[in-house]
Amino acid sequence: MSKKSVGITGIGASLPKKIVTNKDLESVVDTTDEWIRKRTGIEERRVLEVGQNLSDLGAQAGKDAISSANISVDEIDMIIVATGSPELIWPSTACLVQQKMGANSAAAFDLQAACTGFTYGIDIACQLLSSGGYKNILLIGAEAMTRYVDWSDRSTCVLFGDGAAAVVIGEVEEGLGIISSDLGADGNGSDLLEIPNSGSAITHDKLGDVIDQTIKMNGADVFKFAVRVIPATIESLLNKSGVMLEDISLIVPHQANKRITYSAAEKLGISKEVMVSNISKYGNTGAASIPLALFGLENEGRLEKGDLIITVGFGAGLTWGSNLIKWSKTS
Ligand SMILES: CC(C)(COP(=O)(O)OP(=O)(O)OC[C@H]1O[C@@H](n2cnc3c(N)ncnc32)[C@H](O)[C@@H]1OP(=O)(O)O)[C@@H](O)C(=O)NCCC(=O)NCCS
């Protein structure tokens, strides 16, 4: 029996209303709009307001993806939330989202692969669906990065933003959908990008102290890692799929810095136009950045059924991943 084809059947997104521009950040840290634009490509980002939580964003993105897939919430049998900035450690953000959506038939769990989470989630969903045990998986990339940012550290706080985007993954027309994935990790680089005083690393003797649970990053080394790993995982993905780079219409990379994705494009010998960028509007939204970019492309009519695209992520861990997808969804 041939393996059934699974792919993206619905897509949605939800962003906080509050926009923080580079100009706004000039009064927060010693920075300038010009520096941020030139060094990162970011112009503004969305920020969760007090009283709004990550599961609110995730649930809204999920509902929109389900309605775009033309199915009912009861047909979702699993919810995976890819996030590196969960609302709580327990319960999972996926369970909070499940409750807010009323998705009572769905199992739910969080996937922690930092900014690479969405590409890991695509492969996991694909494997689960192909085995026949599930029919419709809701994969949500959701981040509340600004809740973990040190607002006195100009080298990190200007980079991140909040948002959520979701896809429904289910059976698609034969020959379309997710073709293959390439995932990897290197824990030796775990200290390059981390939130050190979080989780069970907060020991009891620290109780009562003000705990700094903020993002710490070696920007230069993470930059070099990203520029190396994007072409490497894409080449490995293409090799195992027997597809040529020239056949790819668009590459949808994790949005961390425009200079990273353009340097990777140069290394791959492809035009910058093939590398999708929406970082100017949203900054680095972690595991949400790839589905958010896919949502934009679908709504702008830039994706045709049958287009071969690559999604590619990288981030803390260190982790990386890429997926080759023959586009199945059209609005
Ligand atoms: C963080 C990053 C934007 C810094 O850009 P850069 O051009 O490499 O800048 P450098 O770190 O070399 O710093 C250059 C100078 O700019 C300064 N600087 C850093 N942030 C600044 C800011 N927001 N505004 C103004 N100046 C800033 C530095 O202090 C440094 O000053 P100095 O020369 O006086 O010491 C870049 O390294 C990067 O994008 N790294 C990868 C980040 C990433 O992808 N993280 C997430 C992965 S999922």
DSSP codes of every residue in 146-200: GGG--TT-HHHHTTB-EEEEEEEEEE-STT-EEEEEEEEE-GGGGGGEE-TT-GG
* Centre of ligand 1 from the C-alpha of residue 131, in Å: 45
Of 123, 39, 133, 136, nearest to 82 (Cα)?
123
Rounded Cα distance, 304 and 327, in Å: 7
Nearest to 176 by CA among 331, 51, 20, 329: 329
Residue 109: closest CA among 92, 133, 96, 127 = 92
CB 17, CB 63: distance < 8 Å = no
Nearest alpha carbon, ligand 1 atom 19: 155
Q: Would the CATH topology of 6-176 be identical to that of 178-326?
A: yes
- The answer to whether 252 and 311 have CB atoms below 8 angstroms apart is yes
What does the domain layout of the chain look like in residue ranges? Answer: 6-176, 178-326
What is the pLDDT confidence band of residue 212, given thresholds at 50, 70 and 90?
Answer: confident
pLDDT per position as a tens digit, 117-140: 999 999 999 999 998 889 999 999
Distance (angstroms) between ligand 1 centre and the Cα of 53 equals 29
Closest residue CA from atom 35 of ligand 1: 155
Alpha carbon distance 162, 15 (integer Å): 7
Nearest ligand 1 atom to the CA of 31 is 24
Residues in Cβ contact with 145 at an 8 Å cutoff, skipping those fewer than 6 apart? 84, 85, 160, 161, 162, 215, 284, 285, 286
**Interior/surface letters 165-176, b for 16+ CB within 10 angstroms, e for the rest:** bbbbbbbbeeeb
More confident residue, 204 or 18: 18
SS3 75: helix
pLDDT in tens, 242-261: 999 999 999 999 999 999 99
pLDDT at 132: 86
* Structure confidence at residue 200 as a pLDDT band (50, 70, 90): confident
pTM value is: 0.96
Q: Note the pLDDT of residue 203.
A: 67
Q: How far apart are CA 57 and CA 54, in angstroms?
A: 5
Q: Whose CA is nearest to atom 31 of ligand 1?
A: 155
- CATH 3.30.930.10 assigned to 6-176: no
Ligand 1 atom with the shortest distance to the CA of 256: 44
User: Domain 178-326 is in which class?
Assistant: alpha beta
Around ligand 1, the residues with Cβ closer than 6 Å are: 31, 35-36, 39-40, 115, 154-155, 158, 193, 217, 219-220, 222-223, 226, 256-257, 260, 284, 315
Straight-line distance from the first to the last Cα atom of the chain, in angstroms, rounded to the nearest whole number = 31
Residues classed as catalytic = 115, 254, 284
